[in-house]
Amino acid sequence: MRTNYYITKDGVLRRKENTVYFINKEEKRALPINKIYAIYAFGSLSFTSGVVSYLAKNGIPIHFFSRYGFYEGSLYPRETLLAGDVTIHQSEHYLDVDKRLFLARCFIEGATKNILKNLETYSSKKGVEKYIGKIGREIERVKGYDTVPQIMSVEGHIRDMYYSALDCIFPEEFKIGERVKRPPNNKTNTLISFGNSLMYSTVLTEIYNTQLNPTISYLHEPFERRFSLSLDVAEIFKPIIVDRLIFKLVNKNMLNDSHFEGDLGDMLLSDSGRRLFLQEYNERLSRTIKHKSLGRNVSYQRLIRLELYKLEKHILGAKKYKPLVMWW
């Protein structure tokens, strides 16, 4: 079984025959190409065209991140699964107002219900129940809106209330206050930004393994980012994977000051913090649950692929799309 491979140090990738090596002043190690699903690079990484060719041949994308953990771009292998009829139907669902609105509402519905699942776990905490009620009422407004910008405004309001609810759950040093992204201004904003960037690139990897075109989206405008469909689908999975990972790190006291760098107002994860987060993130992607419909265990990462298959079936008119909502 192939897995994700994380490079957190500066270095060079070089190919010698059918082996790719990571080299820097400290080490030289061979990458297990036949076991790698995708590469996530957090250091300054140089490589030759021979490496690019070999990784592309093996269908392995590389995702690059800045020192703050923000996604910067991907080295994306040639898309071998893209199908003309799927792209045509994807475009049709974007151009048709009603069809696009249906999918945009679905992504918000899935994201919000998963957010509520998270908050219900902590409903005994003072103040959380109030936000559960407010968010539940807010999602009803989406049904009455007939433009994507209106729906996006509701999504933003729901997120603001969600983060306020988290301040009722987290200890003082991990309170969010307000969502600040570039750069993150405190510990929890740093964790959220780092996790969301990972989630975006993980979804992109899964899209690569389907017939869907990653540039055609429904909730986010396609011109905002190149692979905007990743943003749409990531909304559903951020509460399931990223937020629950942050709950674990904070509530189990797994983090301390050594895991962060910088001052309030300009903060990022340290090398040790990044390694801890990536270790827990990869473990969560690999975690399995028994799927209700399939009747067998599937990993969290596989759930993303299954969600994309559901979207593809909807676009092709085979089965109406229903977003994933946690049942566990």
Confidence of residue 158 (pLDDT cuts 50, 70, 90): very high
In 122-240, where does DSSP find H-type helix?
A: 128-141, 148-169, 187-208, 228-237
pLDDT at 254: 96
For residue 120, pLDDT over 90 is answered with yes
pLDDT at 141: 83
The mean predicted confidence, pLDDT, of the chain is: 91
Which stretches of the chain are assigned E, i.e. beta strand? 3-7, 11-16, 19-23, 28-31, 36-41, 45-47, 62-65, 71-75, 260-263, 266-269, 288-290, 297-299
Give the span between the Cα atoms of 55 and 77, in whole angstroms: 8
Q: What is the pLDDT of residues 182-215, one digit of tens each?
A: 778 889 999 999 999 999 999 999 998 899 999 9
pLDDT at 80: 62
In CATH terms, are 3-60 and 84-315 the same topology?
no
The per-residue b/e assignment along 147-186, b for 16 or more CB within 10 angstroms, e otherwise, is: ebeebbebbeebbebbbbbbbbbbeeebbbeebbeebbbb
pLDDT at 265: 61
What are the two backbone dihedrals, phi and then psi, of residue 283, each rounded to the nearest 5 degrees?
-65, -40
State pTM to two decimals.
0.91
Beta carbons of 187 and 260 less than 8 angstroms apart: yes
Q: What is the pLDDT of residues 230-288, one digit of tens each?
A: 999 999 999 999 999 999 999 999 999 999 987 766 788 998 999 999 999 999 999 99
Beta carbons of 145 and 151 less than 8 angstroms apart: yes
Which CATH fold would you assign to the domain 84-315?
Four Helix Bundle (Hemerythrin (Met), subunit A) (1.20.120)
Average pLDDT for 64-81: 78
pLDDT at 146: 87
Confidence of residue 142 (pLDDT cuts 50, 70, 90): confident
pLDDT at 189: 93
Which residues, 6+ apart, have CB-to-CB distance to 79 below 8 Å? Answer: 208
Q: Nearest-CA neighbor of 259 among 167, 187, 189?
A: 187
Tokens of 4: 């994700």
For residue 18, pLDDT over 70 is answered with yes
Average pLDDT for 278-305: 93
For residue 224, pLDDT over 60 is answered with no
pLDDT at 56: 87
Average pLDDT for 98-113: 96
Please check whether the domain covering 3-60 is classified as CATH 3.40.50.300.
no
Question: What are the structural domain ranges in the chain?
Answer: 3-60, 84-315
Number of CB atoms found within 10 A of residue 255's CB: 20
Report the interhelical angle of 148-169 vs 128-141 (nearest 10°). 170
For residue 82, pLDDT over 70 is answered with no
For residue 97, pLDDT over 90 is answered with yes
Number of CB atoms found within 10 A of residue 241's CB: 24
More confident residue, 294 or 99: 99
Report the interhelical angle of 300-315 vs 271-286 (nearest 10°). 60
For residue 314, pLDDT over 70 is answered with yes
Beta carbons of 101 and 146 less than 8 angstroms apart: yes
Average pLDDT for 99-108: 96
